[in-house]
């Protein structure tokens, strides 16, 4: 039944004829890809999931998990597929980051990539066929710029394509969002210590924070709920566990 408030869609025979005769090959078309920046915090450092390319171009260099967007899928669907198939992760924080379309970014052909940012608790990020590399930047705050990926031996990994720029923009976005959104909790388990929460903030910001000031500020937001439980399996005095309890907006 047609919604009385919605005008009925009429079929325009002229438009139908135009679409039937339209040749999409008249204009050159770029390929569209998706690359996913998968970040977490381990041992006080921001780390990213990377994979070493086995084929040309940039064979031997390290790249973000990515691939081409299929003709029948939305961009976000492609990002979730790549996150699932290449990283083995589902149901985590995922948002579109930026579109990278420099004509020379890929030597094969004109490829536009839509980058996504994924945030994962450390226990859920187990990369079997790639590596977790520490992320470092040479700029402070939200100045922006490319990022480096540091391997287990402390040396910078050679990065493929423009993925150093994509990674740098992800750090810049994350630092900005930290001021007004609960992104830090996306890289923590459901129950966590205040020490772990501070470690995530410090890893993202790239600087040490005052413990008393940090705790006062976070507890004052009302977005933390004490569980009454203590952490276990630690070789120090166990700390209390908290949960993220976002405040509901006033409906009045």
* 83 pLDDT higher than 50: yes
What phi and psi, each to the nearest 5 degrees, are found at residue 246?
-60, 140
Instruction: Tell me what pLDDT residue 250 has.
Output: 41
pLDDT higher than 80, residue 235: no
More confident residue, 246 or 30: 30
For the segment 81-109, the average pLDDT, to the nearest whole number, is 96
Mean pLDDT of 238-250: 81
Average pLDDT of the chain is 92
pLDDT value at residue 137:
97
> pLDDT for 120-154, tens place per residue?
999 999 877 788 999 999 999 999 999 999 999 99
Which DSSP category does 141 fall into? T
CB 183 within 8 A of CB 177: yes
Instruction: State both tokens at 39.
Output: 């970040």
Buried residues in 143-168 as b, exposed as e (16+ CB within 10 A): ebebbbbbeeeeeebebbbbbbbbbb
Model confidence pLDDT, tens digit, residues 158-197 = 999 999 999 999 999 999 999 899 999 999 999 999 999 9
pLDDT at 10 exceeding the cut of 80: no
* Residue 11 pLDDT class (50, 70, 90 cuts): confident
pLDDT of 247 strictly over 90: no
The per-residue pLDDT for 129 is 76
CA-CA distance, 147 to 185, in Å (whole number)? 23
Q: Rounded distance, CA 237 to CA 132, Å?
A: 30
> What's the average model confidence in pLDDT over 33-56?
97
Instruction: Say what percent of the chain tops pLDDT 70.
Output: 94
pLDDT of residue 8: 60
Q: What is the pLDDT of residue 251?
A: 40
Q: Are strands 111-119 and 224-230 parallel, antiparallel or unpaired?
A: unpaired
Please give the pLDDT value at position 53: 95
Provide the 3-class DSSP secondary structure of residue 228.
strand
- Residue 108 predicted with pLDDT over 50: yes
Structural domains of the chain in order of their starting residue, each with its CATH number: 29-178 (3.90.79.10), 183-244 (1.10.10.10)
């Amino acid at each position: 039944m047609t919604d009385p408030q919605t005008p009925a869609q009429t079929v325009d025979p002229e438009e139908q004829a135009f679409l039937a005769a339209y040749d999409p090959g008249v204009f050159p078309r770029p390929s569209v890809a998706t690359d996913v920046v998968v970040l977490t915090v381990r041992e006080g450092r921001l780390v990213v999931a990377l994979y070493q390319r086995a084929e040309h171009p940039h064979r031997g260099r390290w790249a973000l998990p990515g691939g081409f967007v299929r003709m029948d899928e939305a961009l976000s669907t492609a990002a979730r597929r790549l996150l699932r198939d290449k990283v083995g992760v589902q149901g985590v924080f995922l948002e579109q980051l930026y579109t990278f379309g420099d004509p020379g970014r890929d030597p094969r052909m004109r490829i536009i990539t839509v980058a996504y940012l994924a945030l994962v608790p450390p226990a859920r990020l187990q990369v079997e066929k790639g590596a977790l590399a520490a992320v470092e930047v040479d700029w402070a705050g939200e100045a922006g710029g490319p990022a480096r990926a540091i391997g287990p031996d402390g040396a910078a990994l050679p990065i493929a394509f423009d993925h150093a720029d994509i990674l740098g923009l992800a750090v810049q976005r994350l630092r900005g969002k930290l001021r007004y959104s609960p992104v830090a909790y996306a890289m923590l388990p459901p129950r966590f210590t205040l020490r772990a929460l501070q470690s995530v903030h410090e890893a993202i910001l790239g600087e040490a924070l005052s413990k008393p000031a940090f705790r006062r500020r976070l507890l004052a937001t009302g977005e933390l709920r004490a569980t009454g439980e203590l952490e276990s399996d630690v070789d120090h005095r166990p700390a209390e566990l908290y949960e993220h309890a976002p405040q509901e907006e006033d409906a009045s």
